[in-house]
Amino acid sequence: MNHKFRFNKESMDRIKRFMTGEEPPQTPEPPQEEEQPSQVEVVREGGLCAALLTDIGCVRVSNQDALVKGEMLFGVADGMGGHNGGETASAGARDGLVSLLEGKQPSVDALRTAFKAVNHRLFLQQQEDESLSGMGTTLSVVWLSENYVYIGHVGDSRVYLLRDGEFRQVTDDHSLVAELERLGQLTHEQALHHPMKNVITRAVGTEETIDTDLMVEERRKGDTWLICSDGLTGMVSDKSIEAIISANEVEKAAELLVEAARKGGGRDNISVALVREEEAAE
């Protein structure tokens, strides 16, 4: 397999500090004083029911995740970068993608072109505004036509599919530990607890060009798609996620997933988008 390693400046600096033992200790940010309960957004259209929920988590002072919701388009963006960089990047990716895909017929080409354009916009934005330097975002979405599901993915947010009782991760994480795991240099267990598990190898907006993972799946009755940020998968095991999704309506499942991530520590922002194909009416 041919896996490219690509790092932005920020992650390279972190790697250098880590290799030379200079990685600064991670101090948790103080909790927010007033917390607004997060609200699930429910969408019913085109034979499916979707539920989207984002939550600041238990330790972060801001939510740098953004939910993506357009015409039959659902996903998450998980921003990174100091000051307002993270929020600017994830919100920019969300708004850019939603508007670029509006009114378009779902296809791999349209998705690729839109990811490219969104990347270019964010890249230019940070070239022009020094305070946004180093910003970037993950972007993982599903976009549904009448018969197909188009998946676009960059970064370490994830797309999962629950089909016929089988729950699987559809996307590959573009993270340092996942690359090392695929190369056989880390075990799955080592990757789960690695101090550098947050370093991502691909992001939207960090470089002039972008390499987007694109996939197509058939739409099937009863399928459930989950798109989520690492604030969920870093806190809750795949097994627990599967159990929650299998046993609940999407609206309830979204709440329970966020609750499980908070109980697991809630060390990061948590975002989930659940899309369930409804069974045909009798």
Residues that bind Ca ion (CB under 5 A): 78, 229-231, 268
Q: Based on CB atoms, which residue is closest to Ca ion, 62 or 127?
A: 62
Note whether 93 and 85 are within 8 A (CB). Answer: no
**CA dist., res. 12 & res. 233, Å (int):** 24
Report the candidate in 152, 147, 8 with the shortest Cα–Cα distance to residue 94.
152
Q: Based on CB atoms, which residue is closest to Ca ion, 46 or 234?
A: 234
Rounded least distance, CB 217 to Ca ion, Å: 25
Rounded least distance, CB 147 to Ca ion, Å: 33
Q: Based on CB atoms, which residue is closest to Ca ion, 90 or 212?
A: 90
Note whether 167 and 245 are within 8 A (CB). Answer: yes
**DSSP secondary structure letters along 35-61:** -PPP--EEEEETTEEEEEEEE--SS-S
Rounded least distance, CB 23 to Ca ion, Å: 18
Q: Based on CB atoms, which residue is closest to Ca ion, 223 or 268?
A: 268
**CA dist., res. 59 & res. 262, Å (int):** 10
Q: Based on CB atoms, which residue is closest to Ca ion, 100 or 176?
A: 176
Report the candidate in 166, 61, 148, 52 with the shortest Cα–Cα distance to residue 108.
148
**CA dist., res. 204 & res. 220, Å (int):** 30
Q: Based on CB atoms, which residue is closest to Ca ion, 106 or 134?
A: 134
Tokens matching residue 69: 């919701």
Residue 108 region by backbone torsions, left for phi larger than 0, else alpha for psi between -120 and 50, else beta: alpha
Rounded least distance, CB 46 to Ca ion, Å: 29
Rounded least distance, CB 67 to Ca ion, Å: 13
Rounded least distance, CB 157 to Ca ion, Å: 8
